[in-house]
Structure 1
Amino acid sequence: MAVAERIVFQPFIWQGAALRAGAPILCPNVDDARRRVDKIRAGILRVAGAVVVRMQVDEDIGDYGEPEYLEQVGDVPLVEED
């Protein structure tokens, strides 16, 4: 299999005082992922926050490129930059 682009919507939820990752959702395109973010902003989707990440993946060899963060909304863990 060739390298493919993956768009992931990663929601986060509060469990007590801890911010936990919910189930990641693989989106068919960036617009679909951004619609999910818009639902959070509108109060339709109730999660603490979310990020949308794009990355290149070759699942056959287990190679995952550097994530590109496209959107962020609400409470999400800090991402450390190198």
Structure 2
Amino acid sequence: MIRLMGEHGVTVPLWSEGGLMFSEPEELIAEFGVSLELANDLKTWGCGWEHRSGQPDHDAEAAGLVRRLNGELDGQYRFVYRP
């Protein structure tokens, strides 16, 4: 299970049991093969997290990102959102 979870100063907010997985979107693309668009959208969400955390539209964006991750990676991993 991989969590989408915001944190101060985190650019790619994806976490495994071992901690933060990637420091830059390019690492996510290289490792998981996600699209550049999705990697950039994750970065935008992560960078805006501390200013928008808890707002309904921010949570809705997170849910959409999780759906996109699960779709692009076709069940290889299980992504969840943790506000």
Flag the structure with larger Rg: 1
Q: TM-score, normalised by structure 2?
A: 0.34
Q: TM-score, normalised by structure 1?
A: 0.34
Structure with the larger helix share = 2
